Amino acid sequence: MTSTSSDAFQPITHLRHFDLAVPDFDQQRTFYSEVWGLTEIANDSGIAFFAAEGSPEQYVVRIRKDQRKRMDLVAFGAASVADVDELAARLGTADVPLVSEPGAMDTPGGGYGFRFFDPDGRVVEVSADVENRVHRRIEEREAVPVRLSHCVVNSTDPAGLRDFYARHLGFRLSDTLFSQHMGDLMYFMRCNPLHHSFAIARGPHVSLHHASFEMRGVEEYMRGTGRALRAGTRLTWGPGRHLAGDNTFAYFHDPHGNTVEYTTELAVLEEDLWHPGRHDVDDPQTQDQWGTADPMSESVAKEQFNDPDVLFEAPPV
């Protein structure tokens, strides 16, 4: 529920999709459909949309052909058209630059939304009234993503970005990763009882850290991981099980070096009772409770730095 109180206004309900631009459009399309297990629902004039079979979202990934690699945007859902309008008005009052004013959307499922730049310069889309996609129950041992789980970004000012998403979009802090030597390294943010739909990592530049896809269960997660390995996809970390969020992880690079993750069993919180924790990354249990993944190191961390993103420049569509 939302409120007219600035402290209680929580317009964001969930993560919808993340959008990428890449030079090799066909190679990227092949990866997300044939290797990663998503379903291409539309492909027109150098833009392709991919759905997760278990999700009511029209699409969870959009791929656009461009000479420059970039993350075009990250998209969130809102509870109502009224919340979209109110959020846009509040951001305008706070001098947050809008990319577009609220209005009808010309993407699969339609809806009503707008876009803005966050303080790092990435594009954020918020929408409501998007038509649900006809989806289905993922069967046992079917190793395809159920839904998009979460999106993590790199920031040179993670604390400032955390405060922006909390103040303006109503995200709540679930947990923090820190190092005794480097300070806070990652903030896990939620917009519903799931432990995190969005997270912010400390990085050397602004970029996509990783996007994560929820599998039906551990069996399906392992089968999907095996399929990606057999296809020659580069595994950068995992399989393992994080402490914060209690979810499994297997990180891969897509053909353009973006990190994508298979996960499952992300914690669902009792929000009224939850108190954010602080977890030391130098404790092996923090990064991997199972002890099956390589220990976190500088070289492992660098795998998720990605290339510097295109900032304060909206994608053409």
Mean pLDDT of 263-267: 97
- The answer to whether the CB of 164 falls within 8 A of the CB of 170 is no
- Over the stretch 84-142, which tens digit does the pLDDT of each residue have? 999 999 999 999 999 999 999 999 999 999 999 999 999 999 999 999 999 999 999 99
Residue range 52-61: mean pLDDT, rounded: 98
What CATH class is the domain 12-128? alpha beta
pLDDT at 8: 81
Say yes or no to pLDDT of 5 above 60.
no
| Res 291 pLDDT > 70 | yes
What pLDDT band is residue 297 in, cutting at 50, 70 and 90? confident
Class for the domain spanning 147-302: alpha beta
Kindly tell me if the per-residue pLDDT of 57 is higher than 50. Answer: yes
pTM more than 0.85: yes
Q: What mean pLDDT do residues 306-315 have?
A: 97
- Tell me what pLDDT residue 2 has: 40
Q: What is the pLDDT of residues 139-192, one digit of tens each?
A: 999 999 999 999 999 999 999 999 999 999 999 999 999 999 999 999 999 999
Domains 12-128 and 147-302 share a fold: yes
Question: Domain segments of the chain: what residues?
Answer: 12-128, 147-302
Supply the pLDDT for residue 191. Answer: 98
**pLDDT-above-90 percentage for the chain:** 96
Can you give the pLDDT at residue 7?
Answer: 57
Query: What is the residue-averaged pLDDT of the chain?
Result: 96
